[in-house]
Amino acid sequence: MFRKIDINNLETVAPKLYELGKDYLFADIWQRPILDTQTRCFITISALILQGRYSQLEWHIKNALSQGISKEQIIEVTTHLAFYAGLPTAISALEHMPEEIWSCP
């Protein structure tokens, strides 16, 4: 049985891991000025798809949408990755995308 761990319960499940992510990843790495937030979103989504880390996709796709990235851009990145990661990987990523990706205008 798998436990759904996401940003909403990570602090309770693994407090130190939550702290490291909050303090170093999001408060430091994501804030560095050399890459903008949208570029970081594309990189993160791509890395998650390439590694098959589909359970993490939902939060990062919702974050990308909130940063002004369109669902068409996310689908295009996934299509592009199919030729580097393989068609099954891209299709699996599409299957694991949150409802927001399909319901956006």
Q: What is the pLDDT along the chain (105 residues), one digit of tens a residue?
A: 667 887 788 899 999 999 999 999 999 999 999 999 999 999 999 999 999 998 889 899 999 999 999 999 999 999 999 999 899 999 999 998 888 887 765
Beta carbons within 8 Å of 68's beta carbon, 6+ residues apart:
38
Put residue 104 in one of left, alpha, beta given phi > 0 → left and psi -120 to 50 → alpha: beta
Q: Residue 68, CB half-sphere, CA atoms under 13 Å: how many?
A: 5
What global pTM score does this model have? 0.86
Tell me what pLDDT residue 80 has: 95
